[in-house]
Amino acid sequence: MSSVTPAALPARKPMNLHRLREMHSQGEKITMLTCYESSMTRVMDDAGVDCILIGDSLGMVVQGQPSTVPVTLDEIAYHTRCVVRGNRNVWIVSDLPFGSYQESREQALRSSVALMQAGAHMVKLEGGGWTAETVHFLTERGIPVCAHLGLTPQSVHALGGYRIQGRDPAGAETLRRHAKELAQAGAAMAVLELMPSDVAADVQADNPGMITIGIGAGQRTAGQVLVMHDMLHITRGKLPRFVRNFMAEGGSIEDAIRRFVLSVKDGSFPDEAIHGY
């Protein structure tokens, strides 16, 4: 299969929250990949990725941890600085890791300041309900926030494993309620992970001003995110059904990332019949 040429993607513009909202309002799908270091950031930037997530997934794919729970704030800040050095145009989102925001709003602020000073444009935190107050506290102080609902890996032990969330009516209603509360609190973006496609579509429809980024949440979100190691088929073992091996389709890492970008933009990824729930 032939490689994707640079001309297949539009000219790059530096990404900001206003531009992301404009893309969302115009129906252009938004692309996000995890990244943890400078060189790969440059490749993703050149390949047209809109957003990079310095995810606590680094605990599993970089550090070899059994979950994301052991990742520390200092480690996220370190990898954020690495990504920033390779970046020119991409919107950078950094995870608030487990234990860095649960104690209080003030702890969340201190942790967010550390990540913003490391170069992040936005911070991400997991869960709904009690987190809405924290989101409001942060956004009032000028810190853009991305929420995260559905499967929240930091709570994997409480959830009983990596299970699809919102399959029953009560669970779906809780997700919808939490999303609305977070949007009202000021969350500009929300990652929706491992939930039925119809539930994710409802969350987006209920909150048209919030940019929803799906991962295992179907095609009707505002954009899509994957863990870089998964979509390049570096991760070994059985992968979730929502992952597509883009490396198998191209001749290089950059080509694979370009294919991810184009497939999200044209709506061919994810395919509901293959990747949806």
Which positions are catalytic?
193
Which among 113, 112, 94 is positioned nearest to 52, based on CA atoms?
Answer: 94
Amino acid at 254: E
Angle at which helix 73-86 crosses helix 105-117, to 10 degrees, equals 30
- Rg, C-alpha atoms of the chain: 17
The whole-angstrom separation of Cα 186 and Cα 219 is: 24
Q: Which two tokens stand for residue 106?
A: 């003030």
Element (H, E) at 42: helix 38-47
Q: How many whole angstroms separate alpha carbon 128 and alpha carbon 233?
A: 31
Residue 107 is encoded by which pair of tokens?
A: 């702890």
Residue 122, phi then psi, degrees to nearest 5: -155, 150
Q: Which of 237, 141, 147, 149 is nearest to 183 (CA)?
A: 147
| Residues 159/151, Cβ–Cβ less than 8 Å | yes
